[in-house]
Structure 1
Amino acid sequence: MGVATLKGVKAEENAIDGKISLKEKISYGMGDFGNGFMFDLGQLYLLKFFTDVAGIPAIAAAGIFLVSKLFAAICDPIVGSSIDYRKNIGKNGKFRPYLIYGSLILAILTVFTFISPNLSVTGKLIYAYASYMIWGIGYSFVNIPYGSLGASITQNTIERASLSSFRQAGSLGALFVTSVIVMPLIVNFANPSVGFPVVMGIMSIIGVLAFIVCFRGTKERIISQAAPSEKLSVGSVVKTFVSNKPLLVLVLMTVFTISAYNIKSAMLIYFAQYNLGNVELMAYMNFIIIGSSFIGVLFLPKLVKRFGKRKTAMIGLGISVVADTINFIAPSNVYLFTILASIAFIGISIPNGVTWAFVSDIIDYGEWTSGERKEGTTYSLFNFSRKLAQSLSGFLSGVGLAVVGYVPNVVQTVGTQIGIKALLCLYPAIALAIAMLIIGLMYKLTDKKHEQIVEELQLRHQPLE
């Protein structure tokens, strides 16, 4: 029966035991680089665009993030399952083709989210809801296949940690570039209603090119030979979720880590403009803050090798909690703030990178317990938590601005400035402390346990005689 296996999966030898080439790791990381050139634009600038350019009230803009992200979160398991249940998989694999076609569509949709039609406030709200909800579906058809791809490249624990570090480097690289150059480019336009979509279009083109590199440079080695046997239904998706305990824990942790990360990203532009008095400082601060976070990514594989994934994540979270807490208490000095924010970003980059290795391990765990390998469904369920956290952070950012008395384009009161700083530093510190407790006390899929699972899966996948 050749390469057929007991569970309908074949795996090339180097997917489990060998090393992945540096070229392939870089190519894989370029996927998240491309991802960031469309995703980060919304996290960094869309709230600012809604409130200051489109003229949408902050509380209404918060509703856009909440509803649109919740809608996208609900769509994610549907998208992921539809990918898993594909019967006709071509020569390019199960996931890689989505990187090309999906990214082209997503680039166009990204530009449309930064267009403000000449309508009433109600009309602008309707347009904003529609464009961002459609964008969310487009993003799912790119991000879920890309996230699932990592689990099909290798099952080697150390190589997965290395792949995760390259993915995190790609993500940070995109965040670094978009944080530093977007606002300086936009302010060169006399009309920001023109500047925003033009600049976002340029960024999106870079994102598509990065996805092409990822497509060409990666290879799927752990290949599902058949769709899951159970009929696709809401029940089958829910069953995949509730039966995977490590996934449940990771989802819970991610709600706190991603909401903290995104609120940081959204609030920095307000802090630079109103607390420090110069919006263009954001570019210089991000150059240092995000640039410094590559230190965490650089040491990620070594930390995982020494401490394991769970302890490594806890170390990073602890560093970020301490730095953010001190930063909230300390005076709002641009130099001191940048130093402490850099330390916090080094810290949070570590668990963010480890997360992708967690997800790949959890996919293996799901196959071990259920007998079916559902990369797309599992990753989409994890992505559900990210979308939930993103909706929460977008909603809290908008509501938080309204609560602290933010008024666009005027000098803010002292109380409002303190409120902006609390959203930027204090909320992330609290949220990440909770995440550290969750991963430390509840996550039981250790590296040693995962190695045992992989060994058993290898035995299951031995060719039939």
Structure 2
Amino acid sequence: MNTSPDPLTLKLSLREKCAYGMGDVGSNLMLSIGTLYLLKFYTDELGLPAFYGGVIFLVAKFFTAFTDMLTGVLLDSRRTIGPKGKFRPFILYASIPVALVATAQFMTNGFELPVKTAVATVLFMLFGLFYSLMNCSYGAMVPAITKNPNERAQLAAWRQGGATVGLLICTVGFMPIQAMFNASSSLGYLMAAMLFVTGGLCCIWWCYSGVKERYVEVMPAHHKPSILKSFCAIFRNPPLLVLCIANLCTLAAFNIKLAIQVYYTQYVLNDIHLLSWMGFFSMGCILVGVLLVPTVVKRFGKKQVYLGGLILWAVGDVLNFFWGSSSLMFVLFSCMAFFGTAFVNSLNWALVPDTVEYGEWKTGIRAEGSVYTGYTFSRKISAALAGFLPGIMLTQIGYIPHIAQSEATLLGLRQLIFLWPCSLAIIAAVTMGLFYKLNEQRFAFIIEELGKRKKHLSPEPEMKKENKASAVTL
């Protein structure tokens, strides 16, 4: 008699959930310093035009979109799984070059403008390459940790909580540390970066040592992973495709907001130190939202909570555009918008593992790496656009560093930080509301069907017929 616990009801320990969340604390300590401050470092310290900064983001992020795909191929190609597991070794070994390159990006040099631009681009591309190996493995690991959908939602909440803590620490702490080096602001950037990546490494290693891969599955020998198949994993998986489109909008909106807020607080509100306070309160609201995710998802379902978060986000941005010209109102409405983003960003990660089972149910092939990196491909394209657009728009609205900005430039900053993200959030809400069909009931049915298939091994042709018939009904 089989006495092994039911994978759908197996509970994870609090210690393991905490360890998993620490992985995104570490990832975001190393990533967010670039998301928040690298463009400003380029324009104000390295002396690059804002347009050049935007192009660097565009080129490097497009490059890392494909490195994400290569990571998926590498993960799915593994046939021999050692005691460290299928995903955990990449988390451990790639974290060191991520930390080194993240620090090197904040080093100034006396090269000519073309050489400066080339060096900055190469460093950003290297960061993206190693970050893909580390972070894609971290995200793709969830289906190997648990099959329980509620536990996956909790892991997603812990992950988003970790990401929020990392982002909060960077938002609140980076500029005060940088400002301690008044004699050399460029040295301040470098020292702050070194401090944050060191903390990031410790968190990543905590994650590596604290999580366990329970359901590691090796892809059949006849299935050869490739970048083309990673793209096919998106287009043959309707829930994943819809999620990619929605995520393309939400991540671009979120990153644009983060990149522009340092300019907004300095030139529109005339108080760059407000950034730390705003980060403290708004990221605190995200953390509260993340803690609520498991409860509200259990009651209302993932899709409904996702849409509710997008509505809060859009309303907060609209209110900020019209009435956020004072520091108090800016912080208040930003808290509302960021509270909404907590549900959206958390559920992005909770929904992806569900599409892994959908893809296995439909095609008969389980490919965590291809599904996850197909999804992260859309995130990197989104991040490329989010990095490119602020650089281009700063040039278009007439931004010049270290001077008082014109009224037209100030209006442009307000549009960039509020109206663009609001519009993208609305597009994401419409996309998810109309086209995402993988609800909790259908997911439970899929898991049950997969369990039956594995117990009663059906002939390959019959399985394909069943897949085709099932795909019509979903």
Shared fold (TM-score, shorter chain, > 0.5): yes
Match of 1:41 among 33, 49, 68: 33
Structure number with higher relative contact order (C-alpha < 8 Å, ≥ 6 residues apart): 1
SS in 1 for 2:141: helix
Q: Does 1:28 align with 2:20?
A: yes
Flag structure 1 segments of 5+ consecutive residues without an equivalent.
Answer: 4-10
1:226 deviates by 4.3
| Structure 2 residue identity aligned to 1:170 | G
SS in 2 for 1:223: coil
Q: Does 1:243 align with 2:232?
A: no
Q: How does 1:298-309 map to 2 (within 5 A)?
A: 298-309=291-302
C-alpha separation in 2, matches of 1:395 and 1:273: 21
Percent identity over the alignment is: 37
Q: How does 1:40-439 map to 2 (within 5 A)?
A: 40-189=32-181, 190-227=183-220, 229-439=222-432
Q: How does 1:9-24 map to 2 (within 5 A)?
A: 13=5, 15-24=7-16
Flag structure 2 segments of 5+ consecutive residues without an equivalent.
Answer: 458-474
Is the Cα contact below 8 Å between 1:300 and 1:353 reproduced in 2?
Answer: yes
1:12 deviates by 6.7
Is the Cα contact below 8 Å between 1:100 and 1:215 reproduced in 2?
Answer: yes
C-alpha separation in 2, matches of 1:171 and 1:232: 30
SS in 1 for 2:272: coil
1:175 deviates by 0.4
Deviation track 1:11-54 (CA, whole Å, cap 9, x = no partner) reads 97354222111111111111111110111111101100111110
**TM-score, with structure 2 as normaliser:** 0.93
1:410 deviates by 0.5
With 75-84 and 129-138 compared, the bigger mean Cα shift is at: 75-84
1:463 deviates by 8.1
**TM-score, with structure 1 as normaliser:** 0.95
C-alpha separation in 2, matches of 1:138 and 1:234: 18
| Structure 1 residue identity aligned to 2:131 | Y
Deviation track 1:428-465 (CA, whole Å, cap 9, x = no partner) reads 1111011000011011111111111111112223387x
C-alpha separation in 2, matches of 1:304 and 1:23: 22
C-alpha separation in 2, matches of 1:251 and 1:331: 31
1:378 deviates by 0.9
C-alpha separation in 2, matches of 1:341 and 1:362: 32
Is the Cα contact below 8 Å between 1:12 and 1:222 reproduced in 2?
Answer: no
Is the Cα contact below 8 Å between 1:86 and 1:227 reproduced in 2?
Answer: no
1:192 deviates by 2.2
- C-alpha change, 1:219 and 1:454, in structure 2 (3 Å) is same
| Structure 2 residue identity aligned to 1:303 | V
Deviation track 1:303-322 (CA, whole Å, cap 9, x = no partner) reads 11111111110000001101
C-alpha separation in 1, matches of 2:354 and 2:267: 44
| Structure 2 residue identity aligned to 1:54 | L
Is the Cα contact below 8 Å between 1:180 and 1:282 reproduced in 2?
Answer: yes
Is the Cα contact below 8 Å between 1:77 and 1:380 reproduced in 2?
Answer: yes
SS in 2 for 1:13: coil
SS in 2 for 1:277: coil
Give the structure 2 partner of residue 8 of structure 1.
Answer: none
Is the Cα contact below 8 Å between 1:23 and 1:217 reproduced in 2?
Answer: yes
C-alpha separation in 1, matches of 2:221 and 2:434: 33
Is the Cα contact below 8 Å between 1:75 and 1:137 reproduced in 2?
Answer: yes
- C-alpha change, 1:245 and 1:331, in structure 2 (3 Å) is closer
- C-alpha change, 1:38 and 1:85, in structure 2 (3 Å) is same
C-alpha separation in 1, matches of 2:200 and 2:235: 35
Is the Cα contact below 8 Å between 1:26 and 1:166 reproduced in 2?
Answer: yes
- C-alpha change, 1:439 and 1:121, in structure 2 (3 Å) is same
Runs of 4+ displaced beyond 4 Å: none
| Structure 2 residue identity aligned to 1:147 | G
Deviation track 1:386-433 (CA, whole Å, cap 9, x = no partner) reads 101101111111111111111111001111111111111111111101
Q: How many residues align?
A: 456
